[in-house]
Chain A
Amino acid sequence: MKVAAPEGVEDALSRSMRGDPTAFGDLVREHQAMVFSLALHFLRDRALAEEVAQEVFLDLYQNLASIESATHLKFWLRKVACHRSIDYGRRQRPHLSLDDIPEPRDPIGPVGEDPPQDPLLARTLRGLVASLPRKARMVVVLRFQEELEYHEIAEVMEIPINSVKSCLQRSLAILRQKLNRCAGDVRI
């Protein structure tokens, strides 16, 4: 069962807090795409992303008592997923250059009905995002996957809002430059 409406999430949350495993399953199903995608776009490794997602939800189960509302739950999951991914990223190779990025074993496709118009460009972009430094990478993922505002990213990542702005500007400049370099004649 999928709980889309916020009231449904609130209901599932309160039932989970009373120890209902089915309701907790509903909460997991509702937010798994967000948590998994955050980890996947950051780590570029499906197995690791799945592990991160599982740990985030286990962590949520242990901390259900501290969750106040559906909005807080979403914020909490984003925050924990973000920090867990950064931790896992730290344990991975310190830095990936564009040439080092392997092609994913399973193609990473979006959830929605309509796929991106240019799959090759999308894949290249994901690879370029993965080549960014950890903090910048997470800012980009939060901004363009979750469509968060600057202040929301600052809250999730616990950094000043000005750092978010400058980080995003720098990242976009780097991405533009690298994309131009690798696309050659393709103008962005």
Chain B
Amino acid sequence: MKPLEDELREALRRTAPPPDLAQRVLARIGQTRQTHPTPSEVVKTSAWNRLRSWLWQPRVRWALATAMCCVLIGVVVVGRQRAQRAKAEAAREQLEVALQLASGKLNRAFREVRRVERVESGTRAKAKATRRTERL
């Protein structure tokens, strides 16, 4: 006697279906195809339809609107920062030019003062020498 498992395997072996089962299935598919698209059409359109229906969900719409607002605010903030930076650059350049001019003028004035001092000290030394010779 075989074990129960083997008997079950034999008893539950695959059974031949009615010979026209496939034809009947195809006939039913033929009936439904008039109302439903073919699988290839489903494949072609399903991705777009899925995307469209996904985009049309209220949650996704809100998320997209929020994201667009964030992008707009970001663009405005970045634009303002750039404008401020450009102004600061221009001011710095002006300041540099002004400092260069001031420095040049100060240098010239300093040189003039030194020259006058040198002339005056020379005159004073001559006068001192003249007075000494007169005393002698």
Contact = CB atoms under 8 A, between A and B. Distances in A.
Interface of A: 16-19, 21, 24-25, 28-29, 32-37, 40-41, 46, 50, 53-54, 57-58, 61-62, 64-65, 108-112, 116-118, 121-123, 125-126, 129, 140-141, 144-145, 147, 172, 175-176, 179, 186-188
B135 interface: no
Nearest to A173: B4
A86 to B, nearest CB: 17
Contact of B4 (A32, A46, A175): A175
B1 A188 contact: yes
Nearest to A122: B11
A28 B29 CA distance: 12
17 contacts: A21-B30, A25-B25, A32-B17, A33-B17, A34-B14, A35-B17, A37-B12, A37-B14, A41-B15, A46-B18, A58-B32, A111-B14, A116-B13, A141-B12, A145-B13, A188-B4, A188-B7
Given A54-B21, A58-B28, A111 B15 contact: yes
Interface of B: 1, 3-5, 7-18, 21-26, 28-30, 32, 36, 38-43, 46
B39 A64 contact: yes
Given A109-B16, A116-B7, 18 more contacts: A17-B40, A18-B39, A28-B26, A33-B17, A37-B17, A40-B15, A41-B12, A41-B15, A54-B25, A58-B28, A61-B29, A112-B14, A122-B10, A126-B12, A129-B11, A144-B12, A147-B9, A172-B5
